């Protein structure tokens, strides 16, 4: 009976450890509609999974920084974050900056990231990139850097974000 109880306890312990160590890898994500990413990251936050940023995470993808707890995010040497102002399509089909969505996006970022952005002129139509030592000063490095690029960690990918309506404002990016 003690053996069965011990085995059951071991199985339950291992099941709990597996669930708490789930990891999602973000790489080569150019962003999309703000509302799509807010929804995805709320679900990810609720799951308790950790996030490895292992490549490009640009535009709306960077919402992950405000949606996921800081201690659940790590960055590899390949990680690059790209920031710019939110935009909509104007009447003539050209991109125009959306000040309200830009301010909302900016307010989602943690204070050190907002400070870094502000030091570079704020969110503008021009993309600015946070990478390398500057990024690793803000987020913990992934210690399994080499394995993160080659392992079977699932990559967080989204369906065509342009086909989905924005929860913030239609067309906001």
Strand partners, 88: 96
Give residue 21's pLDDT: 64
* Most distant CA atoms of the chain, gap in Å: 75
Separation of alpha carbons 91 and 110, rounded Å: 34
- Tell me, what CATH number does 124's domain have? 3.90.226
| Assigned domain for 170 exists | no
| Assigned domain for 11 exists | no
Separation of alpha carbons 74 and 138, rounded Å: 10
Give residue 143's pLDDT: 75
| Assigned domain for 62 exists | yes
| Assigned domain for 6 exists | no
| Assigned domain for 14 exists | no
Separation of alpha carbons 52 and 26, rounded Å: 6
| Assigned domain for 106 exists | yes
| Assigned domain for 8 exists | no
| Assigned domain for 143 exists | yes
Residue-number span of the structural domain to which 156 is assigned = 22-163
Give residue 90's pLDDT: 87
Specify the number of domains making up the chain.
1
Q: What stretches in the chain show pLDDT beneath 50? A: 1-19, 145-172
pTM (2 d.p.): 0.72
Give residue 144's pLDDT: 59
Give residue 22's pLDDT: 82
Give whole-number Cα distances, 118 to 45, 46, 87, 123, 126, in Å: 26, 30, 19, 8, 14
């Amino acid at each position: 009976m003690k053996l069965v109880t011990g085995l059951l306890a071991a199985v339950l312990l291992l099941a709990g450890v597996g669930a708490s160590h789930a990891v999602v890898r973000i790489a080569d994500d150019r962003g999309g509609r703000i509302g799509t990413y807010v929804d995805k990251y709320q679900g990810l936050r609720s799951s308790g999974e950790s996030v490895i940023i292992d490549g490009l995470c640009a535009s709306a993808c960077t919402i992950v920084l405000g949606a996921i707890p800081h201690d659940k995010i790590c960055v590899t040497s390949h990680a690059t974050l790209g920031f710019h102002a939110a935009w909509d399509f104007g009447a003539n089909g050209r991109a125009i900056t959306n000040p309200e969505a830009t301010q909302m996006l900016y307010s989602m970022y943690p204070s050190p990231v907002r400070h870094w952005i502000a030091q570079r002129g704020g969110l503008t139509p021009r993309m600015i990139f946070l990478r390398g030592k500057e990024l690793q000063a803000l987020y913990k490095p992934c210690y399994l850097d080499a394995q993160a690029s080659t392992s079977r960690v699932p990559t967080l990918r989204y369906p065509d974000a342009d086909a989905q309506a924005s929860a913030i404002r239609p067309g906001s990016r």
